[in-house]
């Protein structure tokens, strides 16, 4: 930190020295040159964000109804940039409102400004002067490594446009569009640059009639696609004056069945429930077991299509948010469980897929989530065709609007694989192109005396075969889309999953490279031999947190 502060001070002194020696030109009449400066398009129009880290959110905003969220991680500072046409030897003013820790606003080659801490929106501003032959400038916003999600809104670049205000000539259509690579969920594209009388500032990538990406270079990777599916793409060029080229020739590419690559998503995430069962301090469990992720239950309806913890506690400002903060402060993360067996659920209460997606989005925005789990059970959701389809379509919407988001479905099973309702859910996920990343089964409540290891393996193999049949995947790819969510100790139906059995299940899941392992619940991960089925212990003799420690050994 000290080194960086000295570097910033040094750069500031150099710029001041340069300013004393050079007579800078007077700024021309101000006009915001940026496309979608307040992110009101809802689609990052004009902006390009590193590694798919940027998304448009509805809260918190500075102005209007939308803002940028940049998900900075340990390996990516979530840099979002936009290139515009400018005039040479001209002074411009860049400003914007930001929120978060260590947020930067700047221009390539022209300096930057930053804030160490902005718990609410704070304005950043700087001026720069273009070079003698400079005709374009790239402005950017980014966070800092490991500092979490930042927000930005109402970004402004004031000064004269490079087109001089009279540019009405559109760029030529990009040529040579080709698919350069595919995975089970992505297509990579490249093309030859378009030409323009002033300068091309960006390219819009379309999947069919839907704009799915905006980039400044001549390549893009489109994600969130279904495996083994054909997609058609075109590209259009834009200039600083807003002129748009004709579409390129179309190219069609088919995503792969997977070939063992799967989703690349691995998650060991036992359930933590704050509604009962003397919930433990997460950091205590993390330090004792090495677990990094918890599935936090349950998001329900607080009335209508409004999400709340247990249908009662608000998303922010309460014990749930503080618990998530404690988990993240200890180096971990959470995935929320939306739904469950009982309670007033969002699926039946939200009248349309769009409304349900809006409810999911509120949860995603509240915590900057990387994944969400919909626990679809009982007759109101799982055994209801209308609600099944509503949930699938809603997950499709939020996945398209949140690049990189992983979606998980959790549902019950028979001892040999999905029930008829489970089969329908999988079939519809394919038919609706929902792009589900992980299908997690709950292999328990089969009846007293059940062989919990054998039945779990058989049920998972049945799910694998169904996924292969519906999606055309091979064994490895199907396994990579599967999760297991068990019940530690004594279950409702008097089955016993011992520590030894759970270890065998974990080892089998690792050997077959599954995507997810969970159990219900950390609250019950304490010994109480002969204690029955209770909220606070497993009903068997065990060391505290031992099921969690075993689960932490799941690596996929």
Q: Determine contact, residues 407/399, Cβ cutoff 8 Å.
A: yes
Regarding whether 436 and 345 lie in a shared domain, the answer is: yes
Q: Give the percent of the chain with pLDDT over 70.
A: 91
Can you tell me the distance from the alpha carbon of 213 to that of 362, in angstroms, rounded to the nearest whole number? 23
The CATH number covering residue 49 comes to 2.60.120.260
Same domain, 87 and 208: no
Pairing of strands 230-239, 200-207: antiparallel
Does 126 map to a domain?
yes
Same domain, 394 and 370: yes
- State pLDDT tens for residues 401-430: 998 899 999 999 999 999 999 999 999 999
Give residue 224's pLDDT. 60
Of 377, 381, 495, 546, which one is the catalytic site residue? 377
Least confident of 118-127, 284-293, 503-512: 118-127
- Note whether 232 and 152 are same-domain residues: no
CA 254 vs. chain centroid, Å, equals 23
Whether 134 and 228 share a structural domain: no
Same domain, 233 and 271: no
Whether residue 385 lies inside any domain: the answer is: yes
Same domain? For 237 and 271 the reply is no
Same domain, 524 and 497: yes
Is the residue at 3 inside a domain? no
Q: Are residues 472 and 536 in the same domain?
A: yes
Please give the Cα distance from 544 to 528 (Å, whole number).
Answer: 10
Last residue of a domain, one of 229, 254, 279: 254
Least confident of 105-114, 149-158, 215-224, 500-509: 215-224
- Cα–Cα distances (Å) from 434 to 163, 264, 354, in that order, read 43, 18, 14
pLDDT at residue 472 above 60?
yes
Q: For 410, how many CA atoms within 13 A lie in the half-sphere containing its CB?
A: 29
The answer as to whether 101 is a domain residue is yes
Write down the pTM of the prediction: 0.58
Q: pLDDT band at 12, cuts 50/70/90?
A: very low
Where is the domain boundary, 196, 220, 254? 254
**Among 24-28, 221-225, 387-391, which is the least confidently predicted range?**
24-28
From 108, 126, 158, the end of a domain falls on 158
CATH of the domain at 439: 3.20.20.80
Residue 513 lies in a domain: yes
Same domain, 350 and 218: no
Question: Where in the sequence is the domain holding 340, given as residue range(s)?
Answer: 267-552
Q: Distance between CA 241 and CA 236 in Å, rounded?
A: 15
> 9 falls in which pLDDT band (50, 70, 90)?
very low
Residues 341 and 446 in one domain: yes
Handedness of CA 423, 427, 430, 435 (dihedral sign): negative
Based on the domain organization, do 495 and 418 belong to the same domain?
yes
CB of 207 closer than 8 Å to CB of 235: no
Q: Is residue 170 part of a domain?
A: no
CATH number of the structural domain spanning residue 180: 2.60.40.10
Amino acid 160: pLDDT:
80
Mean pLDDT for the stretch of residues 531-535: 88
507 found inside a domain: yes
The tens digit of pLDDT for each residue in 90-119 reads 888 899 999 999 999 999 877 889 898 888
- If one counts the domains in the chain, the total is 3
Is 495 one of the catalytic residues? no
Lowest mean pLDDT among 20-29, 129-138, 269-278, 341-350: 20-29
pLDDT at 18: 32
Residue 404 has a pLDDT of 87
In a domain? residue 394: yes
């Amino acid at each position: 930190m000290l080194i960086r502060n000295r570097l910033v001070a040094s750069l500031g002194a150099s710029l001041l020295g340069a300013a004393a020696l050079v007579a800078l030109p007077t700024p021309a009449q101000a006009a915001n040159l940026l496309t979608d400066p307040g992110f009101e398009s809802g689609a990052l129009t004009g902006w390009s964000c590193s590694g798919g880290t940027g998304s448009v959110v509805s809260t918190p905003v500075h102005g209007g109804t939308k803002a940028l969220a940049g998900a900075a991680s340990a390996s990516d500072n979530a840099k979002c940039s936009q290139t515009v046409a400018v005039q040479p030897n001209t002074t411009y003013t860049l400003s914007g409102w930001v929120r978060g820790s260590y947020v930067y606003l700047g221009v390539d080659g022209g300096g930057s400004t930053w804030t160490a801490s902005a718990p609410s929106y704070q304005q950043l501003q700087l001026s720069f002067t273009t070079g003698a032959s400079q005709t374009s400038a790239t402005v950017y916003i980014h966070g800092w490594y490991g500092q979490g999600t930042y927000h930005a809104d109402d970004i402004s670049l004031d000064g004269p446009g490079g087109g001089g205000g009279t540019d009405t000539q559109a760029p030529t259509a990009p040529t040579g569009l080709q698919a350069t690579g595919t995975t089970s969920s992505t297509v990579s594209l490249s093309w030859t640059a378009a030409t323009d009388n002033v300068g091309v500032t960006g390219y819009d990538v379309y999947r069919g009639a839907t704009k799915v990406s905006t980039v400044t270079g001549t390549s893009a990777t489109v994600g969130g696609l279904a495996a083994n599916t054909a997609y058609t793409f075109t590209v259009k060029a834009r200039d600083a004056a807003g002129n748009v080229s004709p579409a390129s020739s179309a190219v069609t590419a088919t995503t792969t069945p997977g070939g063992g690559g799967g989703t690349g998503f691995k998650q060991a995430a036992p359930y933590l429930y704050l509604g009962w069962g003397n919930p433990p301090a997460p950091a205590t469990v993390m330090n004792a077991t090495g677990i990094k992720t918890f599935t936090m239950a349950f998001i329900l309806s607080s009335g209508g299509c409004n999400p709340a913890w247990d249908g009662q506690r608000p998303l922010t400002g309460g014990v749930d948010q503080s618990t998530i903060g404690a988990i993240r402060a200890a180096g971990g993360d959470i995935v929320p469980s939306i739904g469950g067996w009982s309670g007033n659920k969002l699926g039946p209460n939200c009248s349309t897929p769009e409304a349900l997606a809006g409810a999911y989005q509120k949860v995603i925005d509240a915590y900057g989530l990387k994944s969400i789990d919909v626990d679809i059970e009982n007759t109101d959701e799982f055994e209801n065709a209308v609600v099944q389809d509503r949930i699938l379509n809603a997950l499709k919407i939020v996945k398209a609007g949140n690049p990189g988001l992983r979606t998980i479905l959790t549902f019950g099973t028979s001892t040999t694989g999905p029930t008829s309702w489970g089969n329908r859910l999988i079939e519809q996920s394919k038919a609706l192109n929902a792009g589900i990343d992980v299908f997690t089964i709950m292999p328990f409540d089969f009846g007293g005396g059940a062989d919990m290891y054998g039945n779990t393996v058989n049920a998972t193999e049945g799910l694998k075969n169904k996924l292969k049949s519906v999606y055309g995947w091979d064994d490895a790819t199907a396994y990579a889309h599967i999760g297991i969510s068990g019940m530690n100790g004594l279950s409702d139906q008097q089955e016993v999953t011992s520590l030894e059995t759970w270890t065998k299940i974990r080892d089998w899941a690792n050997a077959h490279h599954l995507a997810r392992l969970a159990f219900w619940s950390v609250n019950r991960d304490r010994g109480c031999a002969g204690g029955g089925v209770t909220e606070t212990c497993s009903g068997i003799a065990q060391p505290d947190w031992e099921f969690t420690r075993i689960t932490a050994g799941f690596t996929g």
